[in-house]
A = this chain, B = another copy of it.
Amino acid sequence: MSQLSKVFISHFTVRYAETDRMGYLYYGHYASYFEVARVNALKELGVRYRDLEDDGYLLPVRTFEVNYKRPAHYDDDLEIRTTIREFNGIKILFSFETYRSTELLNTAKVELVFVNKSTLRPCEAPQNVKEILIQATTRP
């Protein structure tokens, strides 16, 4: 059965605080944009990250990778397109594309792992979350 690619959209306007003296959105701030983008993706799927933490899970980042093609500037309206690429019950891989209108500014990948808040060891995601994430996964 063919599966349609599920893409989640988030919008950002570059804040003055996020620019640097090149006049660019500082390269490190995308980390927080991608975090908002994936939290929005999860929300759209009915999973609130806030609740996950309250239920005893943490979701720290394992690997983070960005390829910058063009810079963003102050007050630019950006669109981040988020896709869930892999999920094995414990680890989840998101991919991101940042656009300014039709221009692709960068692509990124973030791998996170479900961790038990008490033991701080990797663990299986809650059953209902697992089902949702498996459904939402779009292989590249």
Q: Which of B21, B32, B36, B62 contacts A67 (CB 8 A)?
A: B62
Q: How far is the CB of A71 from chain B (nearest CB, A)?
A: 6
Interface string of A55-97 (1 = CB under 8 A from B): 0001011111111100101110000000000000000000000
Chain A interface helix/strand/loop/mixed:
mixed
The interface size of chain A toward B, counting residues with CB under 8 Å, comes to: 39
| 26 pairs of residues in contact across A and B, judged by CB atoms under 8 Å | A15-B32, A16-B21, A16-B26, A16-B35, A16-B39, A17-B26, A17-B31, A19-B20, A21-B22, A21-B23, A21-B74, A24-B60, A26-B31, A27-B64, A28-B28, A28-B30, A28-B31, A29-B31, A31-B31, A48-B75, A49-B75, A50-B74, A50-B75, A60-B71, A62-B68, A63-B68
Starting from the known contacts A21-B21, A28-B31, 5 additional A-B residue pairs (CB-CB under 8 Å) come to A15-B36, A16-B36, A27-B60, A28-B32, A65-B66
* Residues of A that sit less than 8 Å from B by CB: 13, 15-24, 26-32, 35-36, 39, 48-50, 53, 58, 60-68, 71, 73-75
